[in-house]
Amino acid sequence: MTIRLGIVGVGKIARDQHLPAIAANPHFDLVAAASRHASVDGIASFATIEEMLAGVPDLDAVSICTPPGGRSDIVRAAIAAGKHVMIEKPPGATVSEVVALEQLAADAGVTLFATWHSREASGVDAARDWLADKQVTSVAISWREDIRVWHPGQDWILGPGGFGVFDPGINALSIVTKILPTELSVESGALHVPDGRESPIAATVQMRCGNGAPGRVDLDFLQTGPQSWDIVVETTAGTLTLRDGGKTLSIDGKGAAEGGGIDEGEYPRLYARFAELVPSAGRDVDLRPLQLVADAYLVAHRVVADPFEF
């Protein structure tokens, strides 16, 4: 089955990850794009999803790569047109809007795939399998990257609903909610919000595992030099460490493969999963990472940080 695909939102993440992954997957034929300020060479390009759906009515599916704010209306338009939908993370600006979208997709009989690309990093499945029968005693997440490198000039990310440092931090939460044999809950935290901005540029969050083990999340959007995306899970049987955003796995310091940045296979694996879901109109929507971020906003206290400009 060849899936005629349209993409909505042609920004950095679409060009860096989505377009190459689509081109490499024989199940997809990218035939249209919708973006306010960009286009894709060689295919029909439109300013809005409504124009795209009207101009290319025989699309089978839509991949949505816009920022989370305002995305709900885009997804709704695609579902109303009977299109299967894949969504870049985070799946929406609020938990409730994604719950509603999942029901709309079910009622319409179309796929809704809320993606978490970091779950597709090469060390994640092996980490989940090793932890499956282990007693967790603590979890530590350290996610530090440079906002100017990954989101150059993107003021929306520090605005209302932009997620701030939780935009990368939710990647870590997507991994731990997949690999841990216990649920997580948020207990307290501190959100460091630059003066004049609305979303945090750094955060610390204290969490608790279902078995009572403590968890801590440290997020920083001002890391310069080498970037670091690390998860350490202590258990009664040893220490599991995931580095490089889930790419490099070691147990008690042994078995680590060479790291070196984000796993280039993450997005190809997402599109392979989307291609599996479409023929049966299956849905894959896990909201646990988004729920943890929402809980952090509810219970953490706000700290005014220094002003920030790109």
CATH code, domain carrying 187: 3.30.360.10
SS3 string of the chain?
Answer: CCEEEEEECCCHHHHHHHHHHHHHCCCEEEEEEECCCCCCCCCEEECCHHHHHHHCCCCCEEEECCCCCCHHHHHHHHHHCCCEEEECCCCCCCHHHHHHHHHHHHHHCCCEEECCHHHHCCCHHHHHHHHCCCCEEEEEEEEECEHHHHCCCCHHHHCCCCCCCHHHHHHHHHHHHHHCCCCEEEEEEEEEEECCCCCCCEEEEEEEECCCCEEEEEEECECCCCCEEEEEEEECCEEEEEEHHHCEEEECCECCCCCCCCCCCHHHHHHHHHHHHHHHCCEECCCHHHHHHHHHHHHCEEEEECCCCC
- The verdict on 27 and 106 lying in the same domain is yes
CATH code, domain carrying 72: 3.40.50.720
Model pLDDT, residue 1 = 84
Model pLDDT, residue 256 = 59
Q: Provide block-wise average pLDDT over 10 residues at a time, the chain (310 residues).
A: 96 95 97 95 96 98 95 97 97 96 98 98 96 98 97 94 96 98 97 97 98 98 96 98 95 70 82 98 98 98 97
- The verdict on 141 and 129 lying in the same domain is yes
- The verdict on 44 and 187 lying in the same domain is no
In a domain, 94, yes or no: yes
- The verdict on 71 and 183 lying in the same domain is no
In a domain, 273, yes or no: no
- The verdict on 97 and 175 lying in the same domain is no
In a domain, 284, yes or no: no
- The verdict on 133 and 39 lying in the same domain is no
In a domain, 289, yes or no: no
- The verdict on 138 and 203 lying in the same domain is yes
What domain range is 163 assigned to? 118-255+294-305
Each residue of 184-220: pLDDT tens digit?
999 999 999 999 999 999 999 999 999 999 999 999 9
Model pLDDT, residue 255 = 78
- The verdict on 78 and 139 lying in the same domain is no
Total of domains in the chain: 2
Q: Which residues are identified as catalytic?
A: 89
In a domain, 234, yes or no: yes
Model pLDDT, residue 264 = 72
Q: Answer with the one of 114, 135, 154 that is the final residue of a domain.
A: 114
